[in-house]
Amino acid sequence: MNKPPLHKTQITAIAVFLLLAVLSIGAMVYRRAGTKDAMTAIVSVDGNDLLTIDLSAGAGPYEISLEELAGIDMTLEVREHAVRVLHSDCPDQICVHAGWLAKDMDIAICMPNRVSVVVSHAGEARSLRTGG
């Protein structure tokens, strides 16, 4: 059985489809690579933004005490383009167990302390309202 040869229009359609597929994949890879280094973490207390942490700096590990900033017994740790709740006095420790936050819309919430930590692309300020 011989298959009939492809017509020029079929070859053109296949070439256009493959080109669009390659361009789409390239755009996704480029977007992810370009935004990885441009992330921020927004820390909010009672629904009000308290501070913004630049995660693109890649600075060595350091800690931020919310006790000093907002009177809340909570400590954040920033390291290698990520942030986490290192310590909290809340009973369930859900915010601590959230672990490292580094991707867009990674979230840690501490309802007893009314604190949220939201990671987003730099320039796309996002926060959560956790308090009344």
Amino acid present at 117 = V
Cα–Cα distance for residue pair 109/9, rounded to 1 Å = 56
Task: State the amino acid at position 1 in one-letter form.
Answer: M
CA atoms of 21 and 17, how far apart (whole Å): 6
Per-residue pLDDT tens over the stretch 46-98 = 989 999 998 887 667 899 999 989 999 999 999 988 999 999 999 999 999 99
pLDDT at 37 over 60: no
The pLDDT-based confidence of 129 (bands split at 50, 70, 90) is: very low
pTM above 0.85, yes or no: no
Residues facing 74 on adjacent strands? 88
